[in-house]
Structure 1
Amino acid sequence: MTGRIDRIDHIGVVCLSLDEAVEFYRSTYGFELRHVEVIESQGVREAVMAIGTAADDRAPYVQLLQPTRQDSAVSRWLERRGPGLHHIAFGTDDVRTAAACLEERGVVPVIDPPGTGSRGTQVTFLHPRDCLGVLTELVAPPQDRAASEAAPARH
């Protein structure tokens, strides 16, 4: 594992109605709904909309977020800014290493140590003040999947 940031993982969009947003992205852009999950710890319901037809988990996607409770960060965001672009997420194979490298450059992680995101991913966020005004997320595959992908093949 290198911690190298190697792709745009997803774009996060806050919405008032997850169902309406899913229909919009499906009918307007042809994006495919791949996953819906309630993330209790973050107080959100999310939908993952695949961009393009790539079947692997490394294809970029749009993450639609609807708050499920008033005290969540996404609910506060929605109250202050309204629906729309929330964050950009960059993919890496190792969130801890990537975050440590960025911290050496003055970009401090908001979640330290990284936490668990949807679908078992490992995540941390970087504060907009350190990222030219953009809330930024770092995402790595679930640790068990990353370990199995990194292990040499057995014959």
Structure 2
Amino acid sequence: MLLGIDHIGLATDDPSALGPAMTTLDLSKLDNGIADGYRVACEFWQPAGGGGRPLIELVSPAGPGSALDGHFARFGPGLHHIAFEVDDLVPELNRLREAGFTPVDREPCTGARQGMLVAFLYLARPAGLLVELVQYS
């Protein structure tokens, strides 16, 4: 079952340059990590007061062969994905596949945060939307 929006992912090749803008928006850095399978670095920013959702995730390449390479070539920096927290990732992944979403990941992968399992799907029409499903252990 979908539990709500976990975070909104923004693709950038310079997350340190976005830090001042995040602070100006009353966001504070909560966490960061590397999603090795995607070769991306991730910073998670939370609304003022802490504990709020959704988080804003700054996603940047963590080296050559990053999953972001194609995104930057086609679109440049900006909105990358919307992540929904789920209680059980595999059934939700299957449900969305059956509803017409195109799987990007064949199987769930380790995310950038402790205990985070993720899988991406794409809805080409009518939105051109990349969706991430997130399950925390």
TM-score, length-normalised on structure 1?
0.78
- Is 1:50 matched up with 2:46? yes
- Is 1:138 matched up with 2:133? yes
What 5-or-longer segments of structure 2 have no aligned partner? none
How many residue pairs match? The answer is 136
What 5-or-longer segments of structure 1 have no aligned partner? 143-155
Deviation at 1:70, TM superposition (A): 3.2
Aligned counterpart, 2:73: 79
User: Of the two, which has the highest radius of gyration?
Assistant: 1
CA RMSD in angstroms comes to: 1.8
Structure number having the greater strand percentage: 2
State the distance in 2 between where 1:74 and 1:108 align.
Answer: 18
- Is 1:110 matched up with 2:107? no
Aligned counterpart, 2:124: 129
Q: 4+ residue runs of structure 1 moved beyond 4 angstroms?
A: none
| Identical-pair percentage | 31
Q: Deviations over 1:21-49 (max 9, x none)?
A: 122211x2110101121233211111100
TM-score, length-normalised on structure 2?
0.88
Aligned counterpart, 2:8: 11
Deviation at 1:131, TM superposition (A): 6.5
Structure number having the greater helix percentage: 1
State the distance in 2 between where 1:76 and 1:131 align.
Answer: 21
